[in-house]
Amino acid sequence: MLLWASLLVLAPVIGELAAAKPVISLRPPWTTVFRGETVTLTCNASRIHAAEDMKWYRWFLGATVLRDTPGNTLKARVSGMYKCQARGSLQSDSVSLIFSSERLVLQAPASVFEGDTLVLRCRVRQGEKLGTVTYSWNRKVVSSSPEARDLVIPQASLNNSGFYGCSGFLQGNRYPHRSSARYVNIQELFPQPKLEVIPPQPMEGGSVNLSCRTQLPLERSDALLSFIFFRDHGVMLSNWSRSPELQITVIWREDSGSYWCEASEAVSSIRKRSHPLQVRVHGVPVSAVLLETKPQGGHVLAGERLVLVCSVAEGTGDTTFSWHREDTGERLGSTRQRSQRAELEIPAVVGSHTGWYYCTADNGHGLACSGALNVTVTGTPGNRSGLIAAKAAGVLLSILLLAVVLWIYARRHRNSGRGFPGNSARSPPATGPEKAPQAGCPAPGELPWSYDKVHVGEGDLVYSEIQFMQLGQEGAARTSRTSLDKTRLPEDSAGELRSQDEDAVESYENVQFA
């Protein structure tokens, strides 16, 4: 069951089998024995079906059905070509058995694969003794020994295939005996791998699957193969891996070239390389070239940054983008990159940048052009600088005005305490116990001041009263002094003269001016 599961796992390696066949094994392993001896044949069908599905095995001798057996073994005593068949399977490959009547035979295994150890035995009948033994290959002596020894060829290769024979002296005989020549075929462990590429004509920018295809024989289906992939100049595309598949996620036109793979079996050290395969990667031509600007619309102020964006809807590989002035024929710049979009920046435009622009794109499959786009530059760099300076000056003036307002507010708030009642900040300090104010006089700090409804005529004099408050010695009464200053009004002044302090109590009403 496990062996059949391994076959399923190795299916990508050994290829698709139209219908699996059982394999016959021998015990003892020799295909030539002496007459009267018995060879046990085993039909190994567990590689194909589960054991519980095996109801019977059918054996063939040549084209004739020999018998059906409930088990998978058969005792053979007759020369011929033997085959077996399990229920639901094809017939196995034939195995040739020879029951010889000769005194000396060369015994060889039924199947030998490259990398196996080939053992050949020169044998006489039971009860006889063999002396000096010589082995030959294609009638050439390859080994000679004074004793009866096996011929052992480690790591057999395909070149070791051929006709083998042996000769030896039997005890008491003066003449050697020779065996019949026997052809020994060294089979391939696996054929030369073949590299497959899917898709066979990959497109640039797409993915590619590489498959290293080979096939293990059923007799060696449990062998483990490793794979590796290469391209031009021995560039290794992968490390050794059990997987015969390799995916290249993205392939480009420069990846075109010769590819091959190798397969190796670790135990036998058999390593084979596939024929190189030319892979050509096809590119997609550029199309639908478009020129755009940042800012959009192509309208830009002098001194601002202008970006010309060139893009394509389709196109693979490295693309060369170029920017041009249509009206002057000037080429502004170019770049080559693996992209469908590129940008050209003008840090600060001036009036001379006004005009018609277009761009081109080329990835090696033909040049494509965009439509023309008009760029308009308005204003001058000086005006823009003036606007910036004006904005800065406005901000500074606003800050200065705010500072002046705050200063005036603070000053008015501080000065208003001098004439307002209850302003202790301006009350004269007491040098001793404060006396109560005399009757009929306002208390200190409560003197009312008001100039109300004073009518002033042309050329009249205006008298200003200035009152001085003085403190005497400690305990002395406060005294006040009033002085009048006169001021002649201008001839053009008329109307009412009012004090700025509307809260004063004392007033001089209806004062007539001569």
Mean pLDDT of 503-511: 38
Q: Is residue 34 part of a domain?
A: yes
Mean pLDDT of 224-229: 96
Residue 185: is its pLDDT beyond 70? yes
| Residue 47 pLDDT | 53
Residue 97: is its pLDDT beyond 50? yes
Asked if residue 183 and residue 198 are part of one domain, the reply reads no
Q: Which residues are CB-contacts of 59 (< 8 A; sequence separation ≥ 6)?
A: 41, 43, 65, 66, 67, 68, 69, 74, 82, 83, 84
| Residue 482 pLDDT | 36
| Residue 427 pLDDT | 40
233, 259, 279 - which closes a domain: 279
Q: Is residue 252 part of a domain?
A: yes
Q: Name which of 309, 296, 314 is nearest 368 in CA terms.
A: 314
Q: Is residue 453 part of a domain?
A: yes
| Integer Cα distance of 293 and 306 in angstroms | 7
User: What letter represents residue 9's amino acid?
Assistant: V
| Residue 385 pLDDT | 56
Asked if 166 contacts 135 with a C-beta cutoff of 8 angstroms, the reply is yes
Domains: count for the chain: 5
| Residue 49 pLDDT | 53
Phi, psi (rounded to 5 degrees) for 430: -85, 135
Q: Name which of 183, 264, 260 is nearest 216 in CA terms.
A: 264
- Kindly report the average pLDDT of the chain as a whole number: 79
Strand 257-265, strand 355-362: pairing: unpaired
Bridge-partner residues for 356, per DSSP? 374
Asked if residue 166 and residue 220 are part of one domain, the reply reads no
Q: Is residue 329 part of a domain?
A: yes
| Integer Cα distance of 134 and 175 in angstroms | 13
| Integer Cα distance of 9 and 19 in angstroms | 16
Q: Of all residues in the chain, what percent carry a pLDDT higher than 90?
A: 55
Please write the tens of the pLDDT for every residue from 339-367.
999 999 999 999 999 999 999 999 988 89
Asked if residue 501 and residue 457 are part of one domain, the reply reads yes
Mean pLDDT of 404-422: 67
Q: Is residue 340 part of a domain?
A: yes
Q: Is residue 33 part of a domain?
A: yes
CATH code for the domain in which residue 5 is found: 2.60.40.10
Asked if residue 86 and residue 37 are part of one domain, the reply reads yes
Asked if 441 contacts 493 with a C-beta cutoff of 8 angstroms, the reply is no
pTM here is 0.61
Lowest mean pLDDT among 222-231, 302-311, 337-346, 479-488: 479-488
Bridge-partner residues for 258, per DSSP? 278
Structural domain that includes position 154: 120-187
| Residue 46 pLDDT | 65
Most confident of 256-265, 412-421, 446-455: 256-265
Asked if 304 contacts 268 with a C-beta cutoff of 8 angstroms, the reply is no
Q: How far is CA 324 from CA 309, 334, 355, 361, 474, in A?
A: 12, 9, 11, 12, 99
Mean pLDDT of 206-234: 94
Residue 513: is its pLDDT beyond 80? no
| Residue 54 pLDDT | 56
| Residue 387 pLDDT | 54
| Residue 127 pLDDT | 81
Whole-number CA gyration radius for the chain:
59
Q: Which DSSP helix (H) or strand (E) runs through 345?
A: strand 341-346
* 385 or 63, higher pLDDT: 63
Q: Is residue 350 part of a domain?
A: yes
Asked if residue 6 and residue 67 are part of one domain, the reply reads yes
> Which residue carries 């060829």 as its tokens?
153
Phi, psi (rounded to 5 degrees) for 435: -90, 155
Q: Name which of 151, 182, 177 is nearest 33 in CA terms.
A: 182
Please write the tens of the pLDDT for every residue from 288-331.
999 999 999 999 999 999 999 999 999 988 999 999 999 899 99
| Integer Cα distance of 194 and 216 in angstroms | 13
Confidence of residue 481 (pLDDT cuts 50, 70, 90): very low
Residue 499: is its pLDDT beyond 90? no
Residue 489: is its pLDDT beyond 70? no
DSSP conformation letters of 483-503: EEEEEEPPTT--EEE--S-TT
| Residue 10 pLDDT | 38
> 376-398 as b/e, with b when 16 or more CB fall inside 10 Å?
ebeeeeeeeeeeeeeeeeeeeee
| Integer Cα distance of 220 and 270 in angstroms | 13
Lowest mean pLDDT among 2-6, 54-58, 342-346, 506-510: 2-6
Q: Is residue 13 part of a domain?
A: yes
* 30 or 130, higher pLDDT: 30
Please write the tens of the pLDDT for every residue from 159-182.
999 999 999 988 777 788 999 999
∠369-374-380 over CA atoms, to 5°?
A: 140
Mean pLDDT of 436-440: 36
| Integer Cα distance of 107 and 33 in angstroms | 7
